[in-house]
Amino acid sequence: MSKENKEEKILESAILLFSKKGFSATTTSEIAKDAGVAEGTVFRYYKTKKHILIKVMSRLIEVMSEELVANPVGKILKENRDKDDSDILKMLLMDRLEVFNKYWDIIQVIITEIQFHADIRKSFFENVVLKVKDFLGEFIKSGIAKGRFKDFDPTVVSRALLGTFMAYIIQKKIMGDNKEIGNKQEVDEIIELFLNGLTVNKIG
């Protein structure tokens, strides 16, 4: 196996095992075994497990961005374009919650590492944030064109919507909110708040 193929196989095995077991539970010996190389070969390319993590996180973000971000979000928006806006947003939020629950171990590592590594942060921004923002931007533009939404800057609205979703997820997953994640009443209230605001409309 050539040097390039060995390194690629190590990365593929690390991504697979991190996805299945989580970063903490995966050992370099398991990565080496899955890749079909000696453990010493792993450390020939990566001095520490941390170095493997940094490289894998950048690659993982690229791989996951299509399967777990771009494709599902795009599919939901495309296949449900004629449905009520609140239903579409609810489907998006519930779908993202499911992804966060399933891949939380890895997502938590990514959230931590993007604070300290510019390459991971750049990859996350380009492959995840921008793609989701583009999809949401098209959804907002369509709503404005059809007269359903106020004529606000789609970029600002997309950023606000992403921030709302992320704040809810972080509250649940990181800050120890003990209510069920994806609680129907909470999700309904978040969507209602985003679409219609907090103020009660008064007549007269």
DSSP percent split of the chain into helix, strand, coil, nearest 5: 75, 0, 25
pLDDT at 174 over 80: no
- Output the CATH code of domain 53-196: 1.10.357.10
Between residues 150 and 104, the one the model is more confident about: 150
Tokens at 157, concatenated: 């609205």
pLDDT at 30 over 90: yes
Supply the DSSP symbol for 111: H
Which long-range contacts link 113-121 to residues 24+ away (Cβ below 8 Å)? Answer: 113/53, 113/54, 113/57, 117/54, 117/57, 119/54, 119/58, 120/54, 120/57, 120/58, 120/61
pTM passes above 0.75: no
What would the pLDDT profile of 39-89 be if each residue is shown by its tens digit? 999 998 888 877 887 777 777 777 667 777 777 888 888 888 888 888 988
The chain-wide mean pLDDT, for the chain, equals 81
**CATH fold of 1-47, please?**
Arc Repressor Mutant, subunit A (1.10.10)
Q: How confident is the model at residue 35 (pLDDT cuts 50, 70, 90)?
A: very high
Q: List the chain domain ranges.
A: 1-47, 53-196
Q: Name the phi and psi angles at 148, rounded to 5.
A: -85, -30
Q: Name, of 56-65, 111-120, 161-170, the range with top average pLDDT.
A: 161-170
The pLDDT of residue 194: 87
The pLDDT of residue 115: 80
What would the pLDDT profile of 129-151 be if each residue is shown by its tens digit? 888 888 888 889 988 998 889 99
pLDDT at 178 over 60: no
